[in-house]
């Protein structure tokens, strides 16, 4: 019997590599045939490799996770990867497909691998069943705000909850994440963070800066009359551009 094969489709590089490493440790016989950073690449790899299993991020650039799932229905077993609990609870508990919540915990992945080993000889769910799953995903409540991020600290990957973050600041191709414990870098753009974070918790005060409202210590003005945010527990001051000054008029 040939070794089973899989494709991992996840747009966050650190998460993609982490999942691949965990799979290799938990299921050495599973051949990782390819890894995709977007939906278009996932579709190409699906056609090229005809895998037995597809680990598929729901939120993907290019072709969406839903489009890729439709193309893969009846052809391979799908494990959806999601950061949002409501998707998992409402769409996946039926057992027709499996899911992993980000960040992927080894114990949860072990359970998924065990189920996949049992299903590998059976036929994957067909297009009708997959359409039902996709319909439930589409019927889910509005996407919840981002709850955690993966950030690079030296050679290490650190999981940071958004509540820990004092502020985010654009830094060339990266975004700097500042917490009470230090700093880290992520590849996610500030624009993406604006779309994904709770706007009641994180205020954009400059085109390059998002600040946690709970981390604001006080507001001051410099010698030029510019508004500055002082951050709790740090000596940092963050410039407020004129277009965002209205946020502090009532303070």
What digits encode the pLDDT tens for the residues 190-200? 988 988 888 88
What average pLDDT score do residues 197-218 get? 92
d(CA 76, CA 72): 6
Angle subtended at Cα 233 by Cα 229 and Cα 235, rounded to the nearest 5 degrees? 55
CATH 2.40.50.1020 occupies which residues in the chain? 148-248
Q: Round to the nearest angstrom and report the end-to-end CA distance of the chain.
A: 69
| CATH class of the region 5-138 | alpha beta
| The pair of three-digit structure tokens given for residue 55, joined into one six-digit string | 């680990």
d(CA 125, CA 224): 65
d(CA 100, CA 92): 10
What average pLDDT score do residues 97-114 get? 86
User: ω before 103 within 30° of 0 (cis)?
Assistant: yes
Angle subtended at Cα 184 by Cα 194 and Cα 24, rounded to the nearest 5 degrees? 100
By the 10 Å C-beta count (0-12 exposed, 13-18 middle, 19+ buried), 243 is classed as: exposed
Q: Is 0.85 topped by the overall pTM?
A: no
In eight-state DSSP terms, residue 88 is: I
Task: State yes or no: pLDDT of 141 exceeds 50.
Answer: no
Residue 91 confidence class, pLDDT cut points 50, 70, 90? low
In the block, residue with structure tokens 């951050």: 231
| The pair of three-digit structure tokens given for residue 144, joined into one six-digit string | 């919840």
d(CA 6, CA 51): 5
Q: What is the pLDDT of residue 144?
A: 58
In eight-state DSSP terms, residue 90 is: I
What average pLDDT score do residues 202-222 get? 93
| The pair of three-digit structure tokens given for residue 76, joined into one six-digit string | 């391979």
CATH 3.40.50.2300 occupies which residues in the chain? 5-138
Task: State yes or no: pLDDT of 84 exceeds 70.
Answer: no
- CATH fold, domain 148-248, is OB fold (Dihydrolipoamide Acetyltransferase, E2P) (2.40.50)
What average pLDDT score do residues 203-218 get? 94
């Amino acid at each position: 019997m040939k070794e089973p094969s899989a494709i991992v489709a996840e747009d966050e590089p650190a998460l993609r590599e982490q999942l691949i490493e965990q799979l290799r440790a938990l299921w050495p016989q599973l051949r990782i045939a390819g890894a995709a950073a977007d939906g278009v690449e996932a579709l190409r790899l699906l056609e090229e490799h005809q895998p037995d299993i597809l680990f598929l991020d729901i939120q993907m650039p290019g072709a969406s996770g839903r489009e890729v799932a439709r193309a893969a229905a009846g052809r391979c077993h799908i494990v959806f990867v999601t950061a949002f609990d409501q998707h998992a609870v409402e769409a996946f508990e039926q057992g027709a497909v499996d899911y992993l919540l980000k960040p992927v915990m080894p114990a949860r992945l072990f359970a998924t691998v065990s189920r996949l080993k049992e299903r590998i000889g059976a036929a994957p769910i067909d297009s009708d069943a997959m359409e039902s799953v996709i319909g439930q995903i589409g019927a889910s409540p509005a996407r919840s705000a981002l709850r955690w991020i993966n950030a690079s600290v030296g050679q290490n990957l650190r999981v940071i909850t958004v509540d820990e973050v004092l502020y985010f600041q654009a830094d060339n191709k990266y975004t700097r994440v500042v917490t009470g414990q230090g700093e880290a870098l992520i590849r996610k753009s500030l624009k993406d963070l604006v779309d994904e974070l709770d706007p009641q918790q994180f205020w954009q005060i400059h085109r390059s800066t998002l600040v946690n409202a709970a981390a604001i210590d006080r507001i001051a003005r410099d010698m030029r009359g510019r508004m500055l945010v002082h951050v709790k527990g740090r000596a940092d001051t963050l410039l407020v551009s004129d277009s965002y000054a209205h946020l502090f008029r009532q303070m």
